Structure 1
Amino acid sequence: MRMDGLPDEQVWWKNVSFDEETGQGSYLMKMAPGTRSNPHIHHGPEEFFVLEGDLTDHDGFCYRSGDFVSLAAGSSHCSHTEAGCLLLVTHRGATESIQEGAL
């Protein structure tokens, strides 16, 4: 399915065990080359594993295939990919969209 909140981006997700009401569970996320995620804050921890490609966070840190990332509750970020990527994402709480300047 196309990811909500990103009308101009080619970002898709496939539900594995994600419950949209609780914001908990896992999904596969695919981002086409040159796309970005929306800026958001985590109300619970988020973890993701980069299965393929690259992902650069708003702070300039670049993750590559094989990297595992763990973000604490209360953290906020947005990311972009140059070559495209495939991620396995797990949330343990809801996320909320924020303005990019709030990062």
Structure 2
Amino acid sequence: MRSVNPESLNDPVKGLSNTALGLCGESGEVADMVKKHLHQGHELDKEHLAKELGDVTWYLALGATIIGYELEDILQMNIDKLRKRYPDGFDSQKSQHREKGDE
């Protein structure tokens, strides 16, 4: 977090705003690269895409820090959730018809 604007760490509202807007912006850059590759004939620059995914991850880490979590813990929570949802691997029926409380 040494590269974050200290205001984002000192003011949770600014931190969450920075997180959400940063994720939108960087995810948009990822989406634009994929769109151009799939629909406009551009070569996919995997190294550039990897860097943009790194930017997305940086904002995820910021958001985790703002809410008092370690990014690794959030990632494990997601793995645990998906293992419970899809114990035998992805299932489109389970995806379409989730149990109550499965977020």
TM-score over 0.5 for the pair = no
Q: Which has the higher helix share?
A: 2
* Larger relative contact order, structure 1 or 2 (CA cutoff 8 Å, min sep 6): 1
Q: Which has the higher strand share?
A: 1
Q: TM-score, normalised by structure 2?
A: 0.20
